[in-house]
């Protein structure tokens, strides 16, 4: 084996060498994000030899530069230029580095709502996912990733303005817990926390993996799932982005795929792995959201935490509102403009607050693989969800005006600006179309959903792909449906559950 | 590393014309952004798959010859002046056909991201992220130091709650020094020669935290008192 060990213990960067690089282990985990890292650490703690393969590179805090364009290319898939096709394209972000999307997310920590778990345990036959049984897993996940409230004072004026508007309206706010230790409001979550405050899997689950003898191998793009005698027995692929050609293969007693809700079904389908229910790639939910901005008379932007609050007043309508502080460059793309006109507006950037509306979607998209292995990712925002977006926009505009905003900017093409609260009824009456709305998402879920009935789901309650012994999925794809809140804690709890069950099974088999 | 992408030949002429139209311009802002933004755009596209790169190039050619389709005249996009290009692109960006609008949206998103993340632009707009990040790194180093159980109580507390900084001052941590540095650098020609702070600078040593009297716990009092009495006995 030719390898280069970095300063981080048990982190392996492949080097050039003759022939195929062949590795052996008990369990190979594909992906090192929220699902992969939690599953890998759990399996390693079960006494198994675990290898975690990551397609991207290893980028510790010291490498997170202030150059946004450079960072996007370094830690995001396709430099962030990824989009879901449908009635309106929905851009999305996917981490492609050790730590996966936990390196680039906003760090919100929400447990799966009990109403959702109730549906999962009753309608999907997932008894292990009742609120009572998941409680210890949630506690452990939160402890591991340091889910906690912001230090007082670190929230910043963007969050303060949002809170002021909600308080004046008497709307209920929920204080966000985030996986951070002394987040100091750098406002650079999406390009990698520059202070190391964010507790991505780099600083939480992966050290637990290392401490228990596991290792992460970077720059390994898995292309093939190896089968023998009716069982999945490993994976193979090629080393990428290293300036040399080399193939690798890993033989293992079990394979856990944790590439996320888009990459996982693509890998399975490219390998001809489908289940009888046809659920691999289906039931794709995305928590679509839209961004809004508001012009204030006092500075509200640039400095502070990404999101300290969420307004849960309209949660029963499937609408969640939140502030969302973003760096200058991202703020510039919140407006549908360019050149001198945008330049003029951006002179006021310090006075522009940003926020977003997240809708608990009802649509189901699909991830498919077309001829020649070309992926097709499709999702159509429904008219019902669009109605809730327009309603949510009217709520958020009301909140901004109540907080003192002079103007509010919407994501709707034909209704881009509200000059006063009097414009809000006109926005609702206009009911902008799906095609005239700019969406965005970072919460992709459900493309290999668990279900106790193999005729309806892709995975068993233990996370095994139905009818494919030895093959497991532990990531956002495993989730039976949309959850209405930021998903990283749910993903980690599910991955932990799958890891515990698989670890127990493999140990028993070895003992027998 | 991904293979480097660059616009070649006439495609570069079109791309340059598009970028020149879309980059920000302000009175009193001297740097010419077109070429640097074009290079950043190429670097950004290097991280994207070949299919996206091909789509971007094809779209540029489509825009180049789109004049007759949109009733803008026969002139090619790159051949008309900047104001006319702006008029044409704005018209397409507000087309009633979503696909056309979304095409322009893709280019303007890429150009805006590249342009507004440039240090010169950030500084001009008063959002010097590089200095801000350095301040934050120092502040967090100080907070982590406060967490050191040898120095402070084991329970992490917010800096604001110590009275070291008020919550209002928290976000402005380092502001006075930033102003002082800005004044110093504006007075120094040498500083102007390379005004950009390194992308990532090492965390500066944390400023010592002002001493704050802390009530001892019962256990600590007992231990300290016992030590004192032991010494007395030995002496």
pLDDT tens track, chain A, 512 positions: 434 445 556 889 998 989 999 999 999 999 999 999 999 999 999 999 999 999 999 998 989 999 888 899 899 998 888 899 999 999 999 999 999 999 999 999 999 999 999 999 999 999 999 999 999 999 999 999 999 999 888 999 999 999 999 999 999 999 999 999 999 999 999 999 999 999 999 999 999 999 999 999 999 999 999 999 999 999 999 999 999 999 999 999 999 999 999 999 999 999 999 999 999 999 999 999 999 999 999 999 878 999 999 999 998 898 999 999 999 999 999 888 999 999 999 999 999 999 999 998 888 899 999 988 888 999 999 999 999 999 999 999 999 999 999 999 999 998 999 999 999 999 999 999 999 999 999 999 999 999 999 999 999 999 999 999 999 999 999 999 999 899 999 999 999 999 999 999 999 888 88
- The most confident of A376-385, B185-194, B202-211, by mean pLDDT: A376-385
Tell me phi and psi for residue A416, to 5 degrees.
-75, -20
Q: How many CB atoms lie within 10 A of CB B141?
A: 19
Over residues B180-199, mean pLDDT:
50
Res B72: pLDDT: 86
Of A72, A156, A346, nearest to B24 by CB-CB distance is A346
> Residue B158: its pLDDT value, please?
39
For residue B94, list chain A residues with Cβ-Cβ distance below 8 A. Answer: 413
Q: Do B160 and A151 touch (CB under 8 A)?
A: yes
Contact residues for B10 (Cβ-Cβ < 8 A; gap 6+): none
- Tokens in use for B33? 């952004």
- Judged by CB atoms closer than 8 Å, whether chains meet at B24 and A340 is answered as yes
Minimal Cα–Cα distance from B146 to chain A, Å? 11
In angstroms, rounded to a whole number, what is the distance separating the alpha carbons of residues A64 and A195?
A: 9
pLDDT confidence of residue B143: 86
Which has the higher per-residue pLDDT, B148 or A144? A144
Query: Which residues, 6 or more positions from B35, have their beta carbon under 8 angstroms from its beta carbon?
Result: B16
pLDDT score recorded for residue A182 = 92
Are the beta carbons of A480 and A126 closer than 8 angstroms? yes
Cβ atoms of A22 and A234 within 8 Å: the answer is no
Quick: pLDDT tens for A97-145.
Answer: 999 999 999 999 999 999 999 999 999 999 999 999 999 999 999 999 9
Within a 10 A sphere around the Cβ of A433, how many other Cβ atoms?
A: 17
| Mean pLDDT of the region B110-129 | 93
Q: How far is CA A283 from CA A77, A358, A389, A473, B194, in A?
A: 22, 19, 21, 15, 53
Return the DSSP state at A203.
Answer: T
Categorize the per-residue pLDDT at B212 as very low, low, confident or very high, splitting at 50, 70 and 90.
very low
Closest CB to B108 among A74, A243, A338: A338
Considering only residues A469 and B188, tell me which one the structure prediction assigns the higher pLDDT.
A469
pLDDT given at position B70: 87
Q: Enumerate the residues of chain A whose CB falls inside 8 A of the CB of residue B174.
A: none
Q: Whose CA is closest to A68, among A251, A332, A285?
A: A332
Residue A125: count other Cβ atoms within 10 Å of its Cβ.
Answer: 16
Q: Which sign, positive or negative, has the C-alpha torsion A340, A72, B10, B70?
A: negative
**Nearest-angstrom CA–CA distance, B196 and A300:** 25
- Residue B54 pLDDT more than 80? yes
Instruction: Name the residue in chain A with its Cα closest to that of B170.
Output: A153
Element (H, E) at A369: strand A366-369
By C-alpha distance, the chain B residue nearest A88 is B98
- Distances, alpha carbon B102 to alpha carbons A443, A473, B79, in Å: 22, 35, 24
Residue that has been written with the tokens 């080393």 in this structure: A239
Spatial CB neighbours of A120, under 8 Å, sequence gap ≥ 6: A126, A129, A480, A481
What number of other Cβ atoms are within 10 A of residue A414's Cβ?
12
**Does residue A90 contact residue A439 with C-beta atoms inside 8 Å?**
yes
Q: Model ipTM? A: 0.88
DSSP B181-217: HHHHHHH-HHHHHS-PPPSS-PPPPPPPPPP---PPP
Dump pLDDT digits (tens) for B88-100: 999 999 998 988 9
Torsions phi, psi for A355 (to 5 deg): -155, 175
Name the packing angle between helices A488-511 and A131-144 (round to 10°).
100
User: A315, A259, A51, A310: which is closest to A155 by C-alpha?
Assistant: A310
Q: How big is the CA angle at B75 (ends B69 and B80), to the nearest 5 degrees? A: 120
The answer to whether the Cβ–Cβ distance between B171 and A153 falls below 8 Å is yes
DSSP string, chain B: -PPP----HHHHHHHHHHHHHHS---TT-----HHHHHHHHHHHHHTS-HHHHHHHHHHHHHHHT-HHHHTS-SS-GGGS-HHHHHHHHHHHHT-SSHHHHHHHHHHHHHHHHHHHTSHHHHHHTT--HHHHHHHHHHHHHHHHHHT-TTTS-SS---HHHHTSS-HHHHTTTTHHHHHHHHHHHHH-HHHHHS-PPPSS-PPPPPPPPPP---PPPHHHHHHHHHHHHHHHHH-
pTM, full prediction: 0.87
Pair A257, A273: CB distance under 8 Å = no
Average pLDDT, chain B: 74
Structure tokens given for B106: 């893709």
Within 8 A of B200 by CB-CB distance, chain A residues are 62-66, 194
Q: Which pLDDT belongs to residue B148?
A: 60
Confidence of residue B200 (pLDDT cuts 50, 70, 90): very low
Contact between A318 and A484 under an 8 Å Cβ cutoff? The reply is yes
Identity of the residue in A81, A304, A329 whose CB atom sits nearest the CB atom of B116: A329
Sign of CA dihedral A342, A343, A344, A346: positive
**Best of A56, A61, A78, A79 to mutate (most B CBs within 10 Å, chain B):** A79
């Amino acid at each position: 084996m030719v390898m280069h060990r970095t300063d981080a213990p048990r982190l392996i960067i492949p080097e050039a060498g003759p022939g195929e690089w062949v590795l052996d282990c008990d369990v190979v985990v594909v992906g090192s994000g929220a699902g992969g890292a939690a599953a890998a650490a759990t399996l390693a703690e079960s006494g198994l030899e675990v290898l975690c393969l990551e397609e991207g590179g290893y980028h510790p805090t010291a490498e997170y530069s202030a150059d946004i364009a450079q960072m996007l290319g370094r830690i995001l898939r396709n430099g962030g230029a990824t989009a879901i096709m449908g009635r309106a394209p929905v851009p999305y972000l996917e981490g492609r580095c050790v730590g996966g999307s936990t390196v680039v997310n906003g760090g919100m920590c929400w447990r799966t709502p009990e109403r959702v778990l109730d549906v999962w345990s009753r309608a999907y036959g997932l008894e292990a996912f009742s609120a009572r049984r998941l409680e210890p897993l949630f506690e452990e996940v939160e402890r591991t990733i340091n889910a906690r409230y912001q230090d007082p004072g670190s929230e910043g004026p963007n969050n303060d303005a949002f809170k002021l508007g909600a308080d004046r309206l008497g709307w209920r706010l929920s204080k966000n817990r985030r996986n951070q230790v002394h987040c100091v409001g750098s406002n650079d979550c999406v390009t990698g926390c520059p202070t190391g405050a964010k507790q991505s899997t780099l600083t939480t689950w992966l050290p637990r993996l290392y401490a228990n003898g596991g290792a992460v191998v970077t720059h390994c793009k898995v292309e093939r799932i190896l089968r023998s005698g009716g069982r999945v027995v490993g994976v193979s692929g090629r080393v990428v982005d290293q300036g040399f050609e080399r193939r690798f293969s890993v033989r293992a007693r079990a394979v856990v795929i944790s590439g996320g809700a888009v990459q996982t079904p693509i890998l399975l389908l490219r390998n001809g792995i489908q289940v009888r229910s046809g659920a691999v790639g289906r039931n794709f939910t995305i928590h679509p959201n839209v961004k809004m901005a508001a012009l204030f008379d006092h500075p509200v932007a640039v400095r502070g935490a990404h999101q300290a609050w969420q307004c849960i007043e309209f949660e029963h309508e499937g609408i969640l509102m939140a502030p969302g502080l973003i760096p200058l460059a991202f703020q510039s793309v919140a407006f549908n403009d360019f050149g001198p006109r945008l330049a003029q507006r951006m002179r006021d950037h310090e006075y522009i607050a940003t926020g977003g509306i997240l809708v608990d979607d009802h649509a189901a998209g699909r991830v498919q693989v077309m001829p020649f292995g070309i992926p097709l990712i499709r999702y159509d925002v429904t008219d019902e969800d669009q109605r809730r977006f327009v309603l949510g926009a009217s709520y958020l505009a009301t909140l901004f005006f109540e907080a003192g905003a002079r103007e509010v900017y919407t994501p709707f093409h034909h209704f881009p600006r509200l000059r006063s609260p009097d414009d809000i009824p006109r926005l609702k009456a206009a009911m902008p179309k799906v095609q005239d709305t700019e969406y965005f998402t970072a919460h992709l879920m459900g493309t290999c959903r668990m279900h106790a009935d193999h005729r309806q789901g892709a995975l068993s309650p233990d996370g095994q792909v139905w009818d494919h012994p030895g093959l497991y999925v532990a990531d956002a794809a495993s989730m039976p449906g949309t959850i209405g809140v930021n998903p990283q804690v749910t993903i980690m709890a599910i991955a932990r559950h799958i890891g515990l069950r698989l670890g127990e099974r493999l140990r028993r088999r070895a003992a027998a | 590393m991904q293979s480097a992408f660059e616009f070649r030949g006439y495609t570069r002429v079109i791309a340059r014309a598009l970028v020149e139209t879309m980059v920000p311009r302000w009175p009193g802002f001297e740097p010419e952004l077109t070429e640097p933004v074009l290079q950043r755009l190429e670097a950004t596209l290097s991280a994207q798959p070949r299919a996206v790169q091909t789509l971007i190039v094809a779209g540029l050619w489509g825009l180049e010859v789109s004049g007759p389709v949109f009733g803008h005249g026969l002139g090619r996009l790159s051949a008309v002046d900047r104001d006319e290009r702006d008029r044409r692109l704005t018209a397409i960006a507000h087309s009633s056909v979503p696909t056309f609008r979304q095409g322009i949206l893709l280019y303007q998103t890429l150009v805006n991201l590249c342009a507004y993340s440039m240090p010169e632009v950030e500084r001009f707009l008063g959002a010097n992220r590089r200095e801000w990040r350095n301040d934050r790194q120092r502040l967090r180093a100080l907070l982590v130091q406060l967490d050191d159980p040898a120095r402070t109580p084991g329970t992490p507390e917010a800096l604001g709650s110590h009275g070291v900084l008020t919550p209002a001052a928290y976000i402005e941590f380092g502001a006075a020094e930033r102003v002082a540095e800005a004044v110093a650098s504006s007075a120094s020609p040498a500083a102007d020669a390379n005004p950009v702070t390194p992308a990532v600078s090492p965390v500066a040593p944390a400023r010592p935290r002002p001493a704050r009297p802390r009530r001892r716990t019962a256990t600590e009092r007992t231990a300290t008192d016992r030590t004192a009495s032991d010494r007395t006995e030995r002496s």
